[in-house]
C-alpha cells in the first residue's frame, strides 16, 4: 500500500515537471525541470525493482544528456524573439503529448486481459548482468549507432551555433 502511494507521488511529480518542461519560456529552467522528471522516473524504476535502470536513468540521462542540452542551450544563446517563436511549437507539443497519453491510456484499458504477462527474469534478481549481456551481444550495433548519432548532434549544434565571421577589411 505504501508503494502505491509512492508510485502516485512520483507520477504526479514527473507529470508536473514534464508539463513545466513544455510550458516554460526559459530553456534553462525547462532543462532543470527535465532533470526532475528523469529523477522521478528513476524513482519509479526503483519501485519496480529495476535498480540498474534507475541508476542509468540518473547517471546517463539526468546527468550527461541534460548537461549536454544545457551546453547547447547556452551555446545557441537564444534571444527573446527566438524563445517566443519556440513557445508556439511547445503548445503544439503539449497538445500532442496529451493526446498521445490519452491514446496510450485508452489502449491499455481496452487491452487488459488480452496481453501476455511479462516474462520473469531467468537469472533471478541480477538485472545488471542481463542488461550488460543484452547490450554487448544482441544490441551492440544499435548502441554504437546511438553514440555516433549523439556525437553527430553535438557537432551539428556547434556548427549551427557558430556565428559567421566577417572578413577583415584592409584599412
Q: Determine, yes or no, domain membership for 143.
A: yes
Helix axes 2-23, 27-47, angle to 10 degrees: 160
Which residues constitute the domain of residue 143? Answer: 126-159
Q: Determine, yes or no, domain membership for 7.
A: yes
CATH label of the domain that carries residue 6? 1.20.120.1200
Measured CA to CA in angstroms, residue 161 lies from 74, 75, 88, 108, 156 at distances of 10, 6, 22, 42, 8
- Amino acid 103: pLDDT: 75
* Cα–Cα–Cα angle for 38, 63, 70, rounded to 5 degrees: 95
> If pLDDT is split at 50, 70 and 90, which confidence band does 117 have?
low
pLDDT digits (tens, 9 = 90+) for 27-64: 778 888 888 898 899 998 888 888 888 888 888 887 88
Residue 24 near residue 30 (C-beta atoms within 8 A): yes
Residue 81 near residue 42 (C-beta atoms within 8 A): no
- Amino acid 89: pLDDT: 55
Q: Determine, yes or no, domain membership for 112.
A: no
- Amino acid 106: pLDDT: 76
Q: Determine, yes or no, domain membership for 109.
A: no
Quick count: other Cβ atoms within 10 Å of Cβ 13? 17
pLDDT digits (tens, 9 = 90+) for 143-170: 788 778 878 877 776 776 666 666 666 6
Distance CA 20, CA 27 (A): 11
Pair 2, 73 in one domain: yes
- Amino acid 74: pLDDT: 74
pLDDT digits (tens, 9 = 90+) for 2-11: 888 888 888 8
Per the structure, how many domains does the chain have?
A: 2
Q: Determine, yes or no, domain membership for 1.
A: yes
Residue 75 near residue 161 (C-beta atoms within 8 A): yes
Residue 20 near residue 30 (C-beta atoms within 8 A): yes
> If pLDDT is split at 50, 70 and 90, which confidence band does 84 have?
low
Pair 139, 73 in one domain: no
Predicted confidence (pLDDT) at residue 88 exceeds the cutoff of 60: no
Q: Which of 21, 47, 81 is the last residue of a domain?
A: 81
Pair 76, 17 in one domain: yes
Q: Which of 24, 56, 81 is the last residue of a domain?
A: 81
Amino acid at each position: 500500500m505504501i508503494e502505491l502511494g509512492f508510485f502516485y507521488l512520483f507520477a504526479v511529480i514527473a507529470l508536473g515537471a514534464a508539463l513545466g518542461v513544455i510550458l516554460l519560456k526559459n530553456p534553462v529552467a525547462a532543462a532543470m525541470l527535465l532533470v526532475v522528471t528523469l529523477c522521478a522516473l528513476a524513482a519509479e524504476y526503483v519501485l519496480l525493482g529495476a535498480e540498474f535502470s534507475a541508476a542509468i536513468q540518473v547517471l546517463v540521462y539526468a546527468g550527461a544528456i541534460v548537461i549536454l542540452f544545457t551546453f547547447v542551450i547556452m551555446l545557441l544563446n537564444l534571444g527573446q524573439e527566438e524563445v517566443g517563436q519556440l513557445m508556439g511549437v511547445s503548445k503544439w507539443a503539449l497538445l500532442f503529448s496529451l493526446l498521445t497519453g490519452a491514446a496510450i491510456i485508452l489502449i491499455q484499458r481496452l487491452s487488459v486481459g488480452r496481453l501476455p504477462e511479462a516474462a520473469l527474469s531467468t537469472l533471478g534478481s541480477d538485472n545488471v548482468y542481463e542488461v550488460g549481456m543484452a547490450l554487448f551481444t544482441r544490441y551492440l550495433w544499435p548502441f554504437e549507432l546511438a553514440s555516433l548519432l549523439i556525437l553527430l548532434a553535438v557537432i551539428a549544434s556547434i556548427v549551427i551555433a557558430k556565428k559567421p565571421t566577417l572578413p577583415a577589411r584592409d584599412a
